[in-house]
Structure 1
Amino acid sequence: MKSKFMLFVWAALVTIVLIGSLSFARQGIGLITEDFASSNDISWRIEEFYEYIGPAILNPIDKEEAMKKITVTDSEIEEHRTRYGTLADQLSNIHDQYASRIADAKDNGNEDLLTTLVEERNKKLEDIKKNFESDAHVEAKIRKAKERVLEQYLNEIKMNSFSLPIAYTLTDVDTGETYTFGDTYASSIYKKEFNASNGYLKAYSLPDRHVRGDWSSISYDDSEVYVTDEDILNMANPVKLFEGEVIIPKTVIGKGGELYSQYKDFNRGKSMTFAFYLIGLLALGALLTVAKFQKEWVTETAFANWYSGVKVDAKIALLFATSFILLGYVESHSNLHNFFMYQSLGRWGVWLTSFIVGGVIVTAFLAFQLVNIIERWKQIGVFEADLKNSYTAQFFKALQEMFLNRSIGVQSFILLIGFFLAGIGFVFAAMNPFLVVVYVFCVVFFALPVLYIFIKRSAYLNRILKATEAMAAGRLNEDIKVEGSSPLAQHAKNLNNLREGVRVSMSEQAKSERLKTELITNVSHDLRTPLTSIITYTDLLKDETLDAEERAKYVDILDKKSQRLKTLIEDLFEVSKMASGNLELNKQRVDLTQLLQQALAEHAEEIAESGLDFRTTFPETPFIAYVDGQRWWRVLDNLIVNAVKYSLSGTRVYITLRKMGDNAEFVVKNITKYELGENVDELFERFKRADTARHTDGSGLGLAIAQSIVDMHNGQMKIELDGDLFKVTVTVPAG
């Protein structure tokens, strides 16, 4: 709980520092020197004053003179004349417009309305005819409409009111005429002088923005004409130059003045902004001293454990999103002066909420993300594993696997592109009717054939799935019909092969039952033989006439047979444990070279007596693998004992230990004493021996035990037979 609290305190301090730093970088220096008169709120009002004092007061356009400058072009006359079609079209339209209304007036006997409608219709018909008969008639109509629009525009300019109580004394440089408003000798917060050295005031007869070609704020369209920019500029007066001065009296910011409240807001915002900068400095000091960031605030949380399982590309996306949110928040809240100028109790609540949600929480989460990434980067192999397990890697892997069967991949890709283009084409066709023809052509000659093939393949796939269900239920009588040479047809062939494999498996199962029977027989034989000997010699020992030498001989035989029986039972129990999975491995780092040397030394006497020539090859340096040393020694011991027992006397036995890629490989090669059958896999079966007469010592479980131990180590054991050459290869992951 304390870690979470400290993390959020740290995040709050960081957010304050970020907002304060960006705000100071943008407006801090300017705010130190800025006064109320140079603030943005006042500046744009002053610019507005200079823009409109010319058109409204100093250099207004004379309406009568402006109307004389109106021009009407031949193209305007022609456009006005034919705007609604030919003469016949327009006359027909007028007749149609009045026909039903005149008929209704006749039917209702309303003579006054009938007369009015007929006169109105005839007047319009006559006007249309004159339009096509006389250019002067059309020109007069256009000119009158333009006069109406231009008069409206000039009235709008003159009605513009200044939003500042500005005093001025300005004199026309050419005529000497002076314009005065207010007391320009009063104490002021803003003052600007215009003269030859400072520059004269240029008074335009149009707003400055219109002189620059910005007509976006003007609406001078009419139902009959369109007033062009040229029409507006033609009525402008020449620019006049004025000297004098313009001031904003100081009284406007005094108590009761027109700008008093704005002045108070400006100074309050300025003071509170600098107070925030001071808080930011204190926050920075705290971050460098008492509130230094500690990674334990992040790592020792339950959320950290959950977040570690999130895919790395999702983390990166979240990191960018969080960073942009924080940058956006700091950006939107960095204009502290304006905020403090216009803040209210309600706005303070909104600011505090956004500070906690958009600032503190986002900053804390961003810190959490960065620490998580850095910590996982430090762990060897973890970040690489995260990249391999990412959504992006899985997507590209899936995309690659999509083309394992290139035909299916290409067809699926074309199908996806086709559907995508069909959607795009539909949108464009809806936007442009001309493209409908192209779209229909593509649908008929491309989309529909592709759709037909897709449906046909889907139907074939469903038939294959139904046949697969029948195979899973054990109904193996019918083959799946192979149609064509598509990937689905090849899949049907593979399923047919699988069905045949199931039949072979059933044959193998019968073989397994036979081996089980042989197993029981062999177990019974190998256990009964020593047990029979024990019983026989026990009975002989009961003879009191035996001398000491014979008695000792019988006791020695009993001891050997008992040890033989003990070995059989212990090996049988160990194999059973391995088969049931109840045997646990104690894996550790083991030097395989040393372990092999120990196993050979254990049987040095037996090897010397066997008459066999053992040739060994193994690394001169330690060869480390992660195995259960005791169990792996048993594998080596069993294979060496097997070679000693069943190798032809006088031959060589080759034992090799080497590294093959990431695996350790142990190989034993010898010439067999007994003739082996072709099916060497049965040698892995329990109680199977090369000595089929079962005259040799041993349990017949050596290879079975070795196989089980190798399997438990995720290794492989393989037997190869070439005539009398017997070869066992054991591989296990090295590390």
Structure 2
Amino acid sequence: MNRKIQLGIWSALVTLVLISLPSIFHYAQQLVGKSVIDQENFSWQMERTYENLSATVLNPIDLEKASQEIPVTKEEIEEYRNLYGTLSEQLSNIQEQYAERIANAKAENNETLLLALVKERDTKLEDIQQNFESDEHVEDKILKQKARQLALYEEEKRNRRTNNLPISYDLVNIDTGERFKKGNIGAAAAYKKKFNEANGYLKAESFMDDVNNNGFSWYEGDAAVNISHDDFNSISNKPQFFEGTVIVPKEALASGGLYEESQAFTRGKYSMYAFWVVGILALVALLTVVRFRREWVLFSRFTPVYARLRIDFKAAILLLTVLVLGTYIQSEIYRSLNQFTYFTLGTAGNMIVSFLLFGVLFTALLAFQVVHLIEQLRQPGYAEQAWRESYTASFLQNVVGMFSNRTVGIQLFILLIGFFLAGVGFVGLFLGGFTFLIYVACVFFLGLPVLFLFASRGAYLNRILSATDAMAAGYYTEAIPVKGRSPLAKHAANLNNLREGVRVSINEQAKSERLKTELITNVSHDLRTPLTSIITYTDLLKDETLSAEERAKYVAILDQKSQRLKTLIEDLFEVSKMASGNLEITKQRVDLNQLMHQALAEHAEDFAESNLDVRITLPEVPIFVMVDGQKWWRVLDNLLINALKYSLPGTRVYVNLQKVGTQARITVKNIAKYEIGDNTDELFERFKRGDESRQTEGSGLGLAIAQSIVELHGGKMDVEVDGDLFKVTVEIAAG
């Protein structure tokens, strides 16, 4: 047999057991050995019969007398008088009601209708006027309306007697001795009750419980008038007490409404007996021939889909399945007797559909989930892995992550609570009264500010996201506005810093590419110039007709150009070693003042030949520094050579050495012969010269080498340009 069919049969039997067996405990005491007379519905009908008997036969009111005694209070008069507004409002309303109709009658020259409308209007106006002038006039109208309602109630009360159970009675008023009798109480009785001192007397009141508790709710006439519970109490007779016997004859069970009710009860009772037997047989079958087998659900085509679901989602589906199945079983237990009692084809159809849909299907679904969940939980490590991958664990991690930035977490939490309370308050809005005022106050002083904050932060977040997208697309022109001190503002500031860093990085990269290109160009030019001369003069020396004097001249030029090429290559290697950090330095205590004297003396003749006036300011005392003397000589030599090469002839060169605090400061200032420009940082670049035409001698590495040596000694070297004034400042720790 197909596994699905077997599972369906098993689920049907389980559903039958779950409904039938609990219904035994629920209905056995009510049904076994009982008749329709023993049911709660019969007891309720008898109570209603006693109430109607009391109000219509045993202790009725005098309708005419009661109609005159109905009270009318001041509050009722005022309520009636002002129901439709003030006097002026009511008069104006009547005038408006008749104005158009009277105008139409005049236009049609219908004198009869016109007179009738005017008379009707004036009568109503006069009645309204009297309502506000005379309490007696209003009281008389209210009294008549209440009397009419009382008459309607008495008529309804008499009509209800047709719905009473067929009873016979013999009752005596214990105070007056008045006797009331109907039928033969000695006849065979299906139900019999004696009222006496031991069992309790029958209490007869003038009105039934529906009036005693709530007042009379069905009325005609003016909506402002309603006969109330207090009104009934004021006109009700004093309760009377009776002793005697009341029976329901057995013959009442042979025909009429009670007979039909008895037959329906009997049919329902025996149907329940049969249902219980079916349930017991189903239980026996489940324990013997239709035992559950795991393979019915383990090899379902839904198994791979179910296996991929997260464990808390599985738990939610399982809980929902249990709730639906439990609700269905509970409702069927409580409805089963009524369904069997009033059984029809429609009832049978509904029972079968609900049994298959909510019973069999959800029982099979429950079995599928339980078996698969157990199988998965048996796998080693599944529970831990399933928990890590669950929505619940992810949610808890997100909550912890939300509060990792406490400010953001608290703000989100406040917004969540605010919207939750807004929903609760919206429900309170429909309760009216004081809750409405509280809700309005919360909306204006809590809800709207929270909503404003939420909209503001949301708009700000969108601006940040848009700016971030622009940055990702490569646009760095506009900074994100930083508003307030919120986490979003801090994030915007961080993005601005990142934007500025990226912009600077791009600019530096562009500058680096440009300088790299210039470096290759400059190196190629500076190396090619002496190399070209060497090749040229070498070719010239191959001429055998050259004189000794010309040959000596060419050899001298070759020597000069070879030395120039050697200097370029050595300088290039040296600056490369400095840039890579491979240059070794040996520090010793050196008198910087003496070293400066030596450097200046070395180049004194060169400055004189270049028509430069050197102004030297040196201290009279030694200034000691911990440096590599040979390397530091190179620094001073390069600074003086740079001034010598690029100073405007006929100008002054200022050389200054002084001690400033703990630092030794060297300053060299001169007037440049070439236009330098504003970008002084590039002067430290390799092969960069003051003359862009590169006509002067030198490698263009002088300042780059000097700066590298200074930085290797922990010093600092700066260049300042003010127009044509060129100033180099070197600082190093003295000691």
Instruction: Give the TM-score normalised by structure 1.
Output: 0.60
Please give the alpha-carbon distance, in whole angstroms, between the structure 2 residues aligned to 1:495 and 1:193. Answer: 100
Give the aligned partner of residue 470 of structure 2.
Answer: 466
Please give the alpha-carbon distance, in whole angstroms, between the structure 2 residues aligned to 1:364 and 1:154. Answer: 59
Q: Unaligned 5+ residue runs, structure 2?
A: 483-488, 511-735
Please give the alpha-carbon distance, in whole angstroms, between the structure 1 residues aligned to 2:135 and 2:214. Answer: 33
Please give the alpha-carbon distance, in whole angstroms, between the structure 2 residues aligned to 1:397 and 1:25. Answer: 49
1:9 aligns with 2:9: yes
Shift of 1:305: 3.2
Shift of 1:323: 1.2
Q: Aligned ranges for residues 183-582 of structure 1 at < 5 Å?
A: 183-211=184-212, 213-215=213-215, 219=219, 222-254=222-254, 258-334=257-333, 335-402=335-402, 447-448=451-452, 451-470=455-474, 481=479, 484=482, 486-491=490-495, 493-494=497-498
What do the CA deviations read for 1:79-138 (whole angstroms, capped 9, x no partner)? 333444444444343333333333332332222222222222332333333333333222
Preserved CA contact (<8 Å) 2:189 2:249: yes
Secondary structure at 1:160 match in 2: helix
What do the CA deviations read for 1:22-58 (whole angstroms, capped 9, x no partner)? 2112111221132122234433322221121111222
What do the CA deviations read for 1:628-673 (whole angstroms, capped 9, x no partner)? xxxxxxxxxxxxxxxxxxxxxxxxxxxxxxxxxxxxxxxxxxxxxx
Secondary structure at 1:159 match in 2: helix
| CA spacing shift, 1:491–1:293, aligned 2, 3 Å | farther
Please give the alpha-carbon distance, in whole angstroms, between the structure 2 residues aligned to 1:360 and 1:216. Answer: 50
Preserved CA contact (<8 Å) 1:170 1:179: yes
What do the CA deviations read for 1:455-505 (whole angstroms, capped 9, x no partner)? 34423322322331349xxxxxx6884654631442454577689999999
| CA spacing shift, 1:456–1:167, aligned 2, 3 Å | closer
Preserved CA contact (<8 Å) 2:215 2:228: no
Please give the alpha-carbon distance, in whole angstroms, between the structure 2 residues aligned to 1:6 and 1:28. Answer: 32
Task: Give the aligned length.
Answer: 498
Provide the aligned C-alpha RMSD in A: 3.7
Shift of 1:206: 0.7
Please give the alpha-carbon distance, in whole angstroms, between the structure 2 residues aligned to 1:40 and 1:217. Answer: 27
1:57 aligns with 2:61: no
Please give the alpha-carbon distance, in whole angstroms, between the structure 1 residues aligned to 2:93 and 2:452. Answer: 47
Shift of 1:153: 1.7
Preserved CA contact (<8 Å) 2:168 2:185: yes
Preserved CA contact (<8 Å) 1:166 1:246: no
- 2:48 is aligned with what amino acid? E
| CA spacing shift, 1:311–1:500, aligned 2, 3 Å | farther
- 2:265 is aligned with what amino acid? F
Shift of 1:333: 1.0
Shift of 1:4: 3.2
- 2:459 is aligned with what amino acid? I
Shift of 1:428: 8.3
Preserved CA contact (<8 Å) 1:191 1:246: yes
1:155 aligns with 2:159: no
Shift of 1:382: 0.7
Please give the alpha-carbon distance, in whole angstroms, between the structure 1 residues aligned to 2:53 and 2:223. Answer: 32
- 1:304 is aligned with what amino acid? T
Q: Aligned ranges for residues 622-661 of structure 1 at < 5 Å?
A: none
- 1:115 is aligned with what amino acid? L
Secondary structure at 1:241 match in 2: strand
Identity of aligned residues (%): 39
Give the aligned partner of residue 726 of structure 2.
Answer: none
Please give the alpha-carbon distance, in whole angstroms, between the structure 2 residues aligned to 1:455 and 1:314. Answer: 35
Please give the alpha-carbon distance, in whole angstroms, between the structure 2 residues aligned to 1:425 and 1:266. Answer: 49
Secondary structure at 1:292 match in 2: coil
| CA spacing shift, 1:479–1:84, aligned 2, 3 Å | closer
What do the CA deviations read for 1:205-237 (whole angstroms, capped 9, x no partner)? 1113433x2448655784342322111111111
Please give the alpha-carbon distance, in whole angstroms, between the structure 2 residues aligned to 1:435 and 1:286. Answer: 61
Please give the alpha-carbon distance, in whole angstroms, between the structure 1 residues aligned to 2:509 and 2:11. Answer: 67
Secondary structure at 1:190 match in 2: strand
Secondary structure at 1:161 match in 2: helix
Q: Unaligned 5+ residue runs, structure 1?
A: 472-477, 507-735
What do the CA deviations read for 1:339-369 (whole angstroms, capped 9, x no partner)? 2111123322221221121111111212222
1:105 aligns with 2:105: yes
Please give the alpha-carbon distance, in whole angstroms, between the structure 1 residues aligned to 2:418 and 2:28. Answer: 58
| CA spacing shift, 1:367–1:490, aligned 2, 3 Å | same
| CA spacing shift, 1:419–1:27, aligned 2, 3 Å | closer
Instruction: Give the TM-score normalised by structure 2.
Output: 0.60
Shift of 1:66: 0.9
Shift of 1:297: 2.9
Preserved CA contact (<8 Å) 2:54 2:206: yes
Give the aligned partner of residue 137 of structure 1.
Answer: 137
- 1:458 is aligned with what amino acid? N
Secondary structure at 1:71 match in 2: coil
- 1:467 is aligned with what amino acid? M
